[in-house]
Amino acid sequence: MSAPATTARSTSAATIAALTATAVLAVANAITFLVLAGQPNPGMAAISAFPVIAAVLLWRRSRIAPAVTASVAALVVFSRPTGLSFDLVRPADVPPFTTAVALVLAAGVAVAAALVLQLRGGAGGRLVVLGGGGALGAALAALLVVVWPQADDTGSLTDRQVAALPTVDMTNFKFSPAQLRVGSGQPVAFRFTNETDDDHTFTITDLGVDIEVPSGRTRVAVVDAEPGQYAVHCAAGDHEEKGMVGRLTVVDGALDAAAGAASGQEHTGGHHHG
């Protein structure tokens, strides 16, 4: 008589873990795109409906619930791998970092619980589900950071120096300033800010520069090049076709980066392709 009771409790533990994980996935995704984004993005926030559907199937003990739960966890994570990687390597930015950690851990628990429900009929203890889920979540976080590295490139700059860097604002759909002038001979750092509801990039194909900045985030990166003119564009979607282009001019000798960026403000009306 004790074996069936144990199975019932184990099944309940796996189901509750899966339900909790889907709830966290739904809430974390909604917070990401409605609160932490530069501007609310209802389209991406709507992905939160899928964890809710998975939760309903779990509650109704549907046969397809485990497969749907695992698929939904993958969907929520890989709908924005760059953004998650970006937030995971910046623990000082507490709200995005906390949300990203909650999301990847919930995804791991959801997959672990789904496997227990599918392969063992729910016969797995709470520690098995949570421990396995935590390990899966940690592995997922490591994978995101390795495959989609999004660390700042500040070199030896102090926080005060970073705050004083010339800023390139990313808007829909342009760079401001669009015309940048820097001196040759030493790397020049810029702050890139994105207060839109879209992810953007600062891409210079000729230099191999491809700086991704998720919605609502700020990134610091160093640009170093020989004298010349280089076409800049956003490589996300059709943003380049919509006019999100600019130009980086590198002149001989030293040039104050802030002055170069400021002078570019006067020329943001025209966009050029190199």
Whose tokens are 């429900």? That residue is: 117
pLDDT of residue 269: 38
C-alpha span between 200 and 214 (Å, rounded):
6
Distance set, CA 43 to CA 48, 49, 103, 167 (Å): 10, 11, 18, 28
Using pLDDT thresholds of 50, 70 and 90, give the confidence band for residue 203.
very high
Residue 58 C-alpha from the chain's centroid: 28
C-alpha span between 169 and 171 (Å, rounded):
6
Indicate if the pLDDT at residue 143 is higher than 70: yes
Give tens-digit pLDDT for 26-72: 999 999 999 999 999 999 999 999 999 999 999 999 999 999 999 99
Q: Which residues contact 265 (CB under 8 A, 6 or more apart)?
A: 176, 177
Rounded average pLDDT over 92-116: 96
Q: Which residues contact 140 (CB under 8 A, 6 or more apart)?
A: 77, 104, 107, 108
By DSSP bridging, strand 188-194 and strand 218-223 are: antiparallel
pLDDT of residue 254: 66
Tally the C-alpha atoms within 13 A of residue 264's C-alpha that lie toward its C-beta. 24
Indicate if the pLDDT at residue 6 is higher than 70: no
pLDDT of residue 192: 94
Using pLDDT thresholds of 50, 70 and 90, give the confidence band for residue 265.
very low
Q: What is the mean pLDDT of the chain?
A: 87
The percentage of residues in the chain with a pLDDT greater than 90, rounded to a whole number, is 68
C-alpha span between 265 and 186 (Å, rounded):
23
Minimal CA–CA distance to 202: which of 237, 227, 225, 168? 168
Strand-pairing partners, residue 222, are 189
Using pLDDT thresholds of 50, 70 and 90, give the confidence band for residue 271.
very low
Indicate if the pLDDT at residue 133 is higher than 70: yes
Instruction: Tell me the Cα Rg of the chain.
Output: 23
- pTM of the full predicted structure? 0.81
